[in-house]
Amino acid sequence: MSQTSSGHLDHVLNEERLFPPSAEFTQQAVIGSREQYEDLYRRAAETPDEFWGAEAREHLHWFQPFEQVCNWNTPHVEWFVGGKTNASYNCLDLQIASGHGDRVALIWEGEPGEQRKLTYNDLHREVCRAAGALRQLGITQGDVVSIYMPMTPELVVSMLACARIGAIHSVIFAGFSSEAIADRNNDAQAKLVITANGLYRRGKILPLKETVDEALEKSPSVKNCLVLRRIADQPTPMTEGRDLWWDELVETQSDDMPAEPLDSETPLFILYTSGSTGKPKGILHTTAGYNLWAKRTFQWVFDHRPNDVYWCTADCGWITGHSYVVYGPLAAGATCLIYEGAPNQPGPDRFWDIVERHGVTILYTAPTAVRAFISWGDEHVDKHDLSTLRLLGSVGEGINPKAWMWYREKIGGGRCPIVDTWWQTETGGIMMSPLPGITATKPGSCTQPLPGVIPKVVDESGHEMGVDEGGMLCIAQPWPGMLRGIWGDEQRYVEQYWSTVPGMYLTGDNARCDKDGYYWIMGRIDDVINVAGHRLSTIEVESALVSHPSVCEAAVVGRPHEIKGQGIAAFVTIRDAEPDEKLRDALRQHVRKEIGALAQPDDVRFTASLPKTRSGKIMRRLLRDIAAGEETSGDTSTLEDYSVIAKLRNDEE
């Protein structure tokens, strides 16, 4: 086991500052007393069936009531067995039925500055039309639809349209390459791809349709491609008989299409994420449990009130966008802002300009963004009035105390609680987080578990660690939002999550719990790296590198990066090629083409050999040390030296 982010640990070990919420915040909070939290927590832990049964009856719409709350047969779980509901109904029809039809559901801003507002009534109409279009294309319950779109209302509409008819969406982040799209299409046997004819990113147009076309050459299961005309007059290749324009097909459909009553465990979506092997895994979430988890965690953690303007800056290509742009906030009747583009377009103050103009009250973003804002300078923040903000959130990786303090002081004006939310694609929603009305926060800690979450920090034999002792973070009881499997790979599901510590879900993170019962995440136990809050497997990047004809062997490790948290360092051995700048650039471009821009290595170093153990395992820890060092010239000699040291060390072991 490797304690990956020991640097991070050093930073947070001595963190003793405590920031209690203001009395004013506490007074109005959804969870406003420690007793209330303790009561919820105790009931969810001791009588989960009673607790979650009542939660589900109160917070979801049931076409048919469920007969059993939880059927737990390790490692398989079913929640709300026998019931019928629909996530699209919960997010739309239920809001309208509760009298919120005229409330704004989505506020959208495109990068060039266009703005649209859709009420719950508007969104309902758009989703019904899109669902009609899906039906017309022959999509039925259980079919997989890949969605590769910019952050537009139509992305949200597409997800909810799938949910409405029981189709399974697989959203692929619009920065992934054609190879990555094809892999995902094939793994899920997608029948339809929904895309757009481009998106704006830092003032440039990215031609998404061309990328999808390349992927479709290798995706035999895909029969049709539905294309949103995001950019008027953009020349777009369309294949007769396969490709259809959104405005021609969707906008002619009926404004009403009843939501299909679906069994609680009907698959809602697949979302691909990186594990410790090269092949991304399709994490499966189902309808009722996930929707309930997303909704209740949203309400608890973000202390949502009807007048809030809530902005989660994540893209729907990631789990945060699924749970906290779409399924959580909409099921809670929230007004959500979505923004298409880059945070520094046209200037480094774009986010603060948006907050000011729209009167954002809750902002949920990632530490990598906070670090970028710090580096761009306070003057861009100072230009704007951010006094509408009342709550700040952080997600994706640990937020180091320095960035936490800046976020609190500079963005939150010292008055907004910060909720540092720990969770994963697999958990479906937030698992540990401060509750803003009651939790005194410590910079760098995700503090305490939410009701229904029973965390355990254990060693390899499953024994619980003591106070402040690092160990593997596991979850000891099923919760409604947990993943139901890996698409098409039962064995990997069991091995990855349920085989290390019997009976417990293995998160893959290291953590420690302090004397106050606060949790501190200490990094991964596997070969997953976290680049700008996004998960990548080092092996995935290595596979991309070795698919280049000049590369014999590659080893990829994470290294500290000031903005991205972790950057990617690649060590490669080559054949029939010169170890020069040109090749280095070609390799970086190659990875970009194979996986996407976020996987492009920051450093590529050429070496004659890679340091290995006697059994042939690459000594990653050593490479991590080298990658973290000052030496970045790409000179091979250092590694050669280290390689010798590695051999010596190995002999001693």
Q: Report the chain's C-alpha Rg in angstroms.
A: 24
Write out the H or E segment, with its range, that includes residue 63.
none
Closest to ligand PRX by CB, 246 or 520: 520
Q: How far is the CB of 422 from ligand PRX (least distance, A)?
A: 4
Whether 507 contacts 496, CB under 8 Å = no
Closest to ligand PRX by CB, 139 or 399: 399
Q: How far is the CB of 534 from ligand PRX (least distance, A)?
A: 6
Q: How far is the CB of 533 from ligand PRX (least distance, A)?
A: 6
Q: Which residues contact 194 (CB under 8 A, 6 or more apart)?
A: 145, 146, 147, 148, 149, 158, 225, 226, 228, 246
SS3 letters for 234-254? CCCCCCCCCEEEHHHHCCCCC
Closest to ligand PRX by CB, 341 or 398: 398
Q: How far is the CB of 557 from ligand PRX (least distance, A)?
A: 16
Identity of the residue numbered 389: L
Residue 530, token pair as written in the block:
């976290």
Distance from C-alpha of 641 to C-alpha of 371, rounded to nearest angstrom: 35
Q: What does 436-498 look like in DSSP terms, one character per residue?
A: TTTPPB-TT--B-BPTT--EEEE-TTSPBP-TT--EEEEE-S--TTS--EETT-HHHHHHHHH
Q: How far is the CB of 423 from ligand PRX (least distance, A)?
A: 5
Q: How far is the CB of 474 from ligand PRX (least distance, A)?
A: 12
CA separation (Å) from 163 to 30, 81, 100?
29, 19, 21
Closest to ligand PRX by CB, 263 or 426: 426
Q: How far is the CB of 507 from ligand PRX (least distance, A)?
A: 6
Closest to ligand PRX by CB, 420 or 603: 420
Identity of the residue numbered 51: F
Closest to ligand PRX by CB, 167 or 475: 475
Whose tokens are 């690649």? That residue is 570
Distance from C-alpha of 589 to C-alpha of 595, rounded to nearest angstrom: 10
**Phi, psi angles (nearest 5°) of residue 64:** -145, 130
Closest to ligand PRX by CB, 152 or 320: 320
Closest to ligand PRX by CB, 165 or 319: 319
Residue 244, token pair as written in the block:
């259809």
Q: How far is the CB of 437 from ligand PRX (least distance, A)?
A: 19
**Backbone torsion region of residue 253, taken as left when φ is above 0, otherwise alpha when ψ lies between -120 and 50, otherwise beta:** beta
**Phi, psi angles (nearest 5°) of residue 173:** -55, 135
CA separation (Å) from 360 to 315, 434, 455, 583?
18, 21, 33, 46
Closest to ligand PRX by CB, 94 or 432: 432
Binding-site ranges for ligand PRX (CB under 6 A): 273, 319-320, 395-398, 420-425, 446, 507-509, 521, 524, 530, 535
Beta bridge partners of 510: 472, 523
Q: How far is the CB of 249 from ligand PRX (least distance, A)?
A: 33
Write out the H or E segment, with its range, that includes residue 292.
helix 287-302
Q: How far is the CB of 161 from ligand PRX (least distance, A)?
A: 24
Closest to ligand PRX by CB, 309 or 395: 395
Closest residue by beta carbon to ligand PRX: 425
